[in-house]
């Protein structure tokens, strides 16, 4: 069964600290992996998109990595800000037909 699992479920960090969120998937075959940020009460917004041939992709203080061999991805947030408090969702796309599998998300709380 195609699955996307994220860890941890939630995380609390102090402002200015770095953190890393994990995503493991069993989707196969695989065409792309995306990370979205979802603020409370809003729709998800895309942070990064990576194909199976890409190892890393950055968007400002957000850096996503991908290991297609081990089917793992991570999202690293540098020098966290209060505005980083949100849910971060890992999404895996498959090439055939229409298949996009969403992880349940990691809820990040950044405290002053």
Residue 83: both structure tokens together: 């505005």
Closer residue to other proteins, CB minimum distance, 77 or 90: 90
Closer residue to other proteins, CB minimum distance, 19 or 23: 23
By CB under 8 A, the residues from 62 to 81 that bind other proteins are: none
Instruction: Give min distance, CB of 75 to other proteins, in A.
Output: 15
- Does 104 help bind other proteins (rule: CB under 8 A)? yes
- Does 37 help bind other proteins (rule: CB under 8 A)? no
Instruction: Give min distance, CB of 80 to other proteins, in A.
Output: 23
Closer residue to other proteins, CB minimum distance, 43 or 60: 43
Q: Which residues contact 34 (CB under 8 A, 6 or more apart)?
A: 46, 47, 48, 49, 50, 90, 91, 92, 93
Q: Which residues contact 43 (CB under 8 A, 6 or more apart)?
A: none
Give the whole-angstrom CA distance, residue 3 versus residue 102: 8
Closer residue to other proteins, CB minimum distance, 68 or 101: 101
Query: What is the number of other CB atoms lying within 10 angstroms of the CB of residue 106?
Result: 21
């Amino acid at each position: 069964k195609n699955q996307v699992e994220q860890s941890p479920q939630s995380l609390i960090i102090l402002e200015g600290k770095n953190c890393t969120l994990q995503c493991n998937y069993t989707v196969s075959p695989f065409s792309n992996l995306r990370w979205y940020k979802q603020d409370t009460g809003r729709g998800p917004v895309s942070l990064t998109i990576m194909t199976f041939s890409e190892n890393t992709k950055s968007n400002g203080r957000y850096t996503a990595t991908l290991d297609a061999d081990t089917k793992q991805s991570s999202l690293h947030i540098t020098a966290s800000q209060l505005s980083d408090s949100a849910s971060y969702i890992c999404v895996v796309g498959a090439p055939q037909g229409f298949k996009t599998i969403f992880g349940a998300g990691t809820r990040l709380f950044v405290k002053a």
